[in-house]
Structure 1
Amino acid sequence: MKEKKYADVIIDISHEKVDRTFQYKIPEALRETVLVGTSVMVPFGRGNRLTAGYVVEITDQAEFDEEKMKEIYSLSKQKVSPSEDALKLAVFLKETYGSTMIAALKTVLPVKREVKAKEKKTIVRQMTGEEIRSLLAESIRKHQTGKTRFLAALTEEKKLPYELVTGKLHIAPSTIKSLISQQVITVETESYYRNPVRLETGRREEKKLSNEQQAIVDTVIADRDAGICKTYLIHGITGSGKTEVYLSLIEETVKRGRQCIMLIPEIALTYQTLLRFYKRFGDRVSVLNSSLSEGERYDQCERARKGEIDVIIGPRSALFVPFEKLGMIVIDEEHEPSYKSETMPRYHARETAEYLASLKGASLVLGSATPSLEAYSRAKKGEYELFTLTRRLTGGRLADVSVVDLRKELKEGNRSIFSRKLQELIEDRLSRKEQIMLFLNRRGYAGFVSCRSCGLVMKCPHCDVSLSQHRGGKLVCHYCGYEMQEPKKCPSCGSPYILGFKAGTQQIEDQIRKRFPGAGVLRMDADTTRRKGSYEEILSSFAGEEADILLGTQMIVKGHDFPKVTLMGVLAADLSLNDSDYHCGERTFQLLTQAAGRAGRGVRKGEVVIQTYQPDHYSITLAANQDYEAFYEEEMGYRELMGYPPAEHLLAILFTSKEEGQALAAAEETGRILRNYQEESGRSDGSVIGPSKAAVSKINDIYRFVIYCKEKDYQKLLIYKELTENYRKNLPGNSAFVQFDFDPVNTY
């Protein structure tokens, strides 16, 4: 057996220069407690400053002179230690997506430090009722008013909550201490978990599965029982009952003593999803998302680690909950861009879940009405097993979809945001007491301000973006938060014709209230959902028919099920077609298909109105027909022609610096190194594009340059990453910072 003499430690400093292990001696007193994953305090640097770190390996081999080696000082009392599987997952993230090891470790730890448990105190009477009454009479005689109140309460109740005694009864701690010393009472302390979800679970809901649904459950569970764990893709039209399939799959997995992770793309979906899961699993299910307090997050992870919950629901970070007996991961709406991390390491939840499932011997189930091209192409190749749900089971058929040409509306004199057809249908639904959803892919008064005379656009002085117009005459930068008052005259030419182009949800809400004064309106966007619990409040109000119209951004079109909604209006279908991003056609198709799926989910027929300036674009016409197969063939043809994922793999290398020259120089030298490698290896099939300025070339006074690399073989992109990392390590500490993004979901 290996003697535990030395530990290889990753230091908790996110910098490339220390992105390696440092070896320390393990003191005799700590050899039983220092394990792989243990968080420790070590002397680091020339000043031997105590710094936190994580043990990633224990060995009996010294890497250098033992006399010069420093010792681990102590265990870290605050930091949470990763499990061995979490360490493997961190290594996977670092090597696959490019980041420092410490950044990868922090990603796989859903909580970074221990949080003190909540405690409930109870005061318990130790004397008989007769003895207490005797003490009560004495305290009345001595005019001890506080003690009298307390003893009077104890004559009626043997146990009293501590908060009641100190709060409502206003009993001083000194009085409580005195009665404890006289053995009149004791105080019992009990730890309890913070519960982030308080739902009335009601009766258990379980719907009978259709033959299509049951076939999926039978196949996946039969594979599971045979020890076959693979990836499945469920392509089901909106309203085809994918969630019911997930519930049944998870229930069968839990029956077999295994735990499950259910990933959802938006916090907005948590309320409805949780309600369905609570009705099925009670308090053995919990949630993990960014709206939880630090204590709530810590408690849910502790419950998961101890096996006290079976199912966790949340966005991509819920993937790292410490389940010991993970049996299944479900990723609903797997096409959503929010499954890709926006910070280092820029991991994708789908590929990370595949690795985690293989590590734990778990099954992975992906589901979507509009699967990502990446997932569907892999299913077509046989890498995933594909299931299709073709029937709508929510009591109705797919909604009738109308495409309205806004160019024609304008020519005929209608300058309103609402087409005439949509106005007529809204009035009709309001008269019939049915509900309406209106979708706009913008938020707030997010228009830009420009001068009609000289063309000047008001831009942020720190970022290469236009300022957005908000209420109260403010112009705001959505990147760095810079604010200024809207000018009355153009700062360049002095013209008074400096105005905003506004197409935000706030403005449209105002127009709805003017046009339909009797209608109850709820708005759901990033501004109205900042406060904790606001998502749930808005959704439950609309579900409870407290409003006729729900207006919102993308968060309203994904996954919600409101049976009374019979009309969905898409106010500006082609806004997302104008992005400088190769995903724009796919995103538009997905959004419109999801939006169309919100109407007619009950017994009443649904209608959808798609308003657009590009009615002939294939993303819009095929979404109106709900024809995913035709869209997949059309879009894949474009991706293959242009060499974009999933036809080829793409690596974005982003260089950032406060000095424009440093960022550009690092990017140019990296481009030269990568092209030299291509030439030396005699290859001509890959391509290195750039460097060039990023689409947003400056954010908060940080300059940004980007290189794109295309390759059919993902492993070759990893070589580009290593070459760039090796070059970066030789740069001075204050030079450009480098980030990697493999198969990015957003362009730079």
Structure 2
Amino acid sequence: MYANVIVDISHEKLDKTFQYSIPDELLCDIRPGVCVDIPFGSRTITGYVIEVTDKPEYDPARTKPLIGIKADSVAVEAKLIALAAWIRRNYGSTMNQALKTVIPVKKQAKEQVSRSIALKIDKVKARAQLALCEAKKQKAKARLFRALIDADDGARLEYSFVTGKLSVSAATIRALEQSGFIEVITQSGYRNPVEHMSVDTYDKVLNAAQQSVVDAIEGDIAAGLRNTYLIKGVTGSGKTEVYMELIAHCIQSGRQAIVLIPEIALTYQTVMRFFARFGNRVSIINSRLSNGERYDQFERAKNGDIDIMIGPRSALFTPFSNLGLIIIDEEHENSYKSESVPRYHAREVAIEYARMSDAIVVLGSATPSVDSYYKAKTGVYRLLELDKRVDDRPLPKCEVVDLRQELREGNRSILSTRLQELMEERLLNGQQTMLFLNRRGKSAFMSCRACGFVVKCPHCDVSLSEHSGGVMVCHYCGYRQPVPKVCPSCGSKYISGFKAGTQKIEAMVAKRFPQARILRMDYDTTRAKDAYEKILQAFSNHEADILIGTQMIVKGHDFSNVTLVGVLAADMSLHVNDFHAAERTFALLTQAAGRAGRGKLPGNVVIQTYDPDHYAIRTAKEQDYEAFYDKEIEYRRLMNYPPVWNMLLVHVTSPDESECSSMAQQVYDIALQMISHTDENQSPDDRHLIQLIGPADATIAKVNDIYRKVIYMKTSDYAALISIKDVIEQAVKADTAMKHANISFDFNPMSGF
């Protein structure tokens, strides 16, 4: 047996591995993540095992053996490498891809250095030197001596102040330093993205319901239990306060915490609240930070300078030495699932990372994912509930407007009559409104504006997607039909996709309410580094009356003066070609509704839809999660969709169309052969039914001249899917004829195919 070893965990070395043979006495102890001593040229150095294999890469006679396992090795690197191996095994990727996922700081950025200048002589001698410089007309030296003498004892002057405001050259500073009159002090420092924050002191006390949740979790920890917890709390119930209390307990016991949030847009308000309680022991990671800032935050975590890291999915891999708690807020969000290889889910990886670290995972949401709630119902997670808002504030009053009726009454505007009335009221009363467009860009499904009919696949109960050439396609089974010219249900000519974007809505609102101050928050207006923060701060300070935006405006924000939320076109997420459509719609509508009435004033919500009778719309109006879940899980059970069964989606891509089709068929045949072989060798009681579907074109069959095919399979046994994935990987690796084709895997996919 052989161990593939990396000798340095940095971007430059990740692709370079060295192979050593494993002595018999070490065979039982060598696994990915183990730190080993290895012969390297004429010296002995340290490396990390990333793979154990029986395939030699060099002549076995010339392969050197490992020396031994290193005692007292750094646990955090070993743990991250072991986690990368788990990700590779469970989601399908190369080890290098998995390593680059868990070690996100790819290279050290330029170190931040600060310089200052101080007197090296006492002030009596300094005054004598000042007099001498003045006599010799050495004005620059005189200015520096005068500034240093006037400064407090022991004070330093910033180097940039001396060279800038005082106009003293670097050469002059160097001459005075060489003469022994001054010293230049250089200090290395870390960039801190939250150091500019200044907030009020934290003084909140938990209510009885919040304290009960904290006590339940702390009781389990004290008893030695390490569970995964799902906190189901209505919007405004104070889940963040519960998180902070759990983190306080964690820090008191000498451990660290990671807080995952779904969007960069949430970072500002979330960090403000954590910073108020924990000060500079908090830091953030997100894609808007520079390379240097990102590098420094991970270094601060590794050095023990911070206890809490907040950020999106990548923050999960913060190298804390004694991790005790991982919190995943808004755990239902699909941004926790990676859309690039390896396609891991942060929730599942967090649970594995916590198991390795003897830590716990806390999931929180007002609208838990169907997957998590199913696991809570079946005893895999422990369910804890917060069913009332803080201070018993009422949930907002929710109304559903039927846009079919609006059309019949002659209103062709995207704003219903009722929504316009309520917006007018808010403007008169000095209150704020949020308008949420359910999806940016245009929709691919076809619906009738007169009756609400959506063109669906007769075999899969998902909407058909509009393709070029006047065809509609189902991306689950490949069913095709022509695009209808009139509605098949009512004969109306008003059948099309919805094409209004946030910019168009902003113009319409400005025309209808010229007196209103309007802010827009979407991808286009938030490209700049601090754009999220500036827009949210401006709206929080009541510098605008109306905030228009996409999904990023409805997730977790807390504006006390918002008393009206309008949901425009709820159907845009309801009829996409994805079995998660109803779940996403219910969550979005409930989260959007939760932004209204969070202060002392009650809130109103208007949901505009062409399908007011759909169970996702009806249950969102009532804020009734249980009723939604019962209906949705029944549908998932009927169709063998996750979480009742598991699904593996295999993506095949190639620049050659025939090669793509050939490889997709080969993958299908391998899976079919495995399924048949498994069935023959198992008793009827042990067999797990596996449904195999495909190959079919992907949602977009060709991107940048790359052809795309999909095959997917469903079964109740996750391990069976991993076995099929392993065999496909090995077969593809051995087939040199398909060198241009690429295959990737997506377990329990969360977006359309």
Band of TM-score, shorter chain: 0.7 to 0.9
| 2:632 equivalent in structure 1 | 635
| 1:738 equivalent in structure 2 | 743
Q: Does 1:597 align with 2:594?
A: yes
Mapped partners of 2:668, 2:256: distance in 1: 46
Mapped partners of 2:367, 2:688: distance in 1: 35
1:84 to 78, 92, 109: 78
Amino acid at match of 1:136: L
> How far apart are residue 199 of structure 1 and its match?
4.5
Amino acid at match of 1:442: R
DSSP-derived class of the 2:129 partner: helix
1:255 to 240, 243, 252: 252
Matched-pair contact (CA < 8 Å) for 1:395–1:603 = no
> How far apart are residue 68 of structure 1 and its match?
3.5
> How far apart are residue 287 of structure 1 and its match?
0.8
Q: Does 1:279 align with 2:276?
A: yes
| 1:710 equivalent in structure 2 | 714
DSSP-derived class of the 1:383 partner: coil
Mapped partners of 1:684, 1:198: distance in 2: 55
Mapped partners of 2:702, 2:56: distance in 1: 47
| 2:578 equivalent in structure 1 | 581
DSSP-derived class of the 2:230 partner: strand
| 1:143 equivalent in structure 2 | 137
Mapped partners of 1:692, 1:58: distance in 2: 36
DSSP-derived class of the 1:376 partner: helix
2:286 to 289, 303, 311: 289
Mapped partners of 2:692, 2:282: distance in 1: 47
Amino acid at match of 2:109: V
Mapped partners of 1:11, 1:621: distance in 2: 58
> How far apart are residue 64 of structure 1 and its match?
6.6
> How far apart are residue 117 of structure 1 and its match?
2.8
Matched-pair contact (CA < 8 Å) for 1:39–1:81 = no
739 and 57 in structure 1: CA distance in 2 versus 1, 3 angstrom threshold: closer
Mapped partners of 2:272, 2:328: distance in 1: 18
Mapped partners of 2:658, 2:7: distance in 1: 31
40 and 517 in structure 1: CA distance in 2 versus 1, 3 angstrom threshold: farther
Matched-pair contact (CA < 8 Å) for 2:563–2:597 = yes
DSSP-derived class of the 2:664 partner: helix
1:368 to 365, 369, 382: 365
Q: CA RMSD in A?
A: 3.1
| 2:5 equivalent in structure 1 | 9
Q: Does 1:93 align with 2:87?
A: yes
| 2:403 equivalent in structure 1 | 406
Amino acid at match of 1:747: G
Q: Does 1:614 align with 2:621?
A: no
Mapped partners of 1:684, 1:270: distance in 2: 44
| 1:270 equivalent in structure 2 | 267
> How far apart are residue 172 of structure 1 and its match?
1.8
> How far apart are residue 135 of structure 1 and its match?
2.7
Mapped partners of 1:400, 1:508: distance in 2: 24
The CA deviation string for residues 343-375 of structure 1, in whole angstroms up to 9 with x for no partner, is: 111110111011011110111111111111110
Matched-pair contact (CA < 8 Å) for 2:647–2:712 = yes
| 1:202 equivalent in structure 2 | 199
DSSP-derived class of the 2:526 partner: coil
Matched-pair contact (CA < 8 Å) for 1:394–1:601 = no
> How far apart are residue 680 of structure 1 and its match?
1.8
| 1:425 equivalent in structure 2 | 422
383 and 66 in structure 1: CA distance in 2 versus 1, 3 angstrom threshold: closer
| 1:153 equivalent in structure 2 | 147
1:720 to 724, 733, 738: 724
1:693 to 673, 690, 697: 697
> How far apart are residue 311 of structure 1 and its match?
1.0
DSSP-derived class of the 2:600 partner: coil
DSSP-derived class of the 2:175 partner: helix
1:346 to 329, 343, 346: 343
Matched-pair contact (CA < 8 Å) for 1:447–1:504 = no
Amino acid at match of 1:306: N
434 and 257 in structure 1: CA distance in 2 versus 1, 3 angstrom threshold: same
DSSP-derived class of the 1:656 partner: strand
DSSP-derived class of the 2:577 partner: coil
> How far apart are residue 202 of structure 1 and its match?
3.3
Matched-pair contact (CA < 8 Å) for 2:649–2:710 = yes
- Give 1:175-214 correspondences, 5 Å limit: 175-214=172-211
679-688 or 177-186: which moved more? 679-688
> How far apart are residue 399 of structure 1 and its match?
0.8
- Give 1:372-387 correspondences, 5 Å limit: 372-387=369-384
627-636 or 140-149: which moved more? 140-149
Matched-pair contact (CA < 8 Å) for 1:563–1:601 = yes
- Give 1:663-682 correspondences, 5 Å limit: 663-682=660-679
| 1:121 equivalent in structure 2 | 115
DSSP-derived class of the 2:440 partner: coil
620 and 115 in structure 1: CA distance in 2 versus 1, 3 angstrom threshold: same
Amino acid at match of 1:151: F
> How far apart are residue 25 of structure 1 and its match?
9.2
Structure 1: 5+ residue stretches without partners = 1-5, 27-34, 44-52, 73-79, 451-463, 467-498
| 1:396 equivalent in structure 2 | 393
Matched-pair contact (CA < 8 Å) for 2:48–2:78 = no
1:229 to 226, 229, 240: 226
| 2:481 equivalent in structure 1 | none
> How far apart are residue 38 of structure 1 and its match?
9.0
500 and 651 in structure 1: CA distance in 2 versus 1, 3 angstrom threshold: closer
DSSP-derived class of the 1:229 partner: coil
Matched-pair contact (CA < 8 Å) for 2:688–2:715 = no
> How far apart are residue 394 of structure 1 and its match?
5.4
Mapped partners of 1:242, 1:643: distance in 2: 33
| 1:317 equivalent in structure 2 | 314
Mapped partners of 1:11, 1:736: distance in 2: 32
> How far apart are residue 152 of structure 1 and its match?
2.7
> How far apart are residue 69 of structure 1 and its match?
4.2
Mapped partners of 1:82, 1:387: distance in 2: 31
Mapped partners of 1:389, 1:594: distance in 2: 15
Q: Does 1:130 align with 2:130?
A: no
> How far apart are residue 442 of structure 1 and its match?
3.0
Mapped partners of 2:77, 2:403: distance in 1: 57
Q: Does 1:443 align with 2:448?
A: no
> How far apart are residue 330 of structure 1 and its match?
0.8
| 1:107 equivalent in structure 2 | 101
Mapped partners of 1:179, 1:673: distance in 2: 77
Percentage of pairs with the same residue: 52
- Give 1:490-639 correspondences, 5 Å limit: 502-639=499-636
335-344 or 143-152: which moved more? 143-152
Amino acid at match of 2:146: A
TM-score (norm 1): 0.84
> How far apart are residue 65 of structure 1 and its match?
5.1
> How far apart are residue 204 of structure 1 and its match?
2.5
Matched-pair contact (CA < 8 Å) for 2:443–2:572 = no
465 and 304 in structure 1: CA distance in 2 versus 1, 3 angstrom threshold: farther
> How far apart are residue 593 of structure 1 and its match?
0.7
Aligned residues: 670
> How far apart are residue 324 of structure 1 and its match?
1.0
Structure 2: 5+ residue stretches without partners = 23-32, 42-46, 67-73, 447-465, 469-495, 680-686
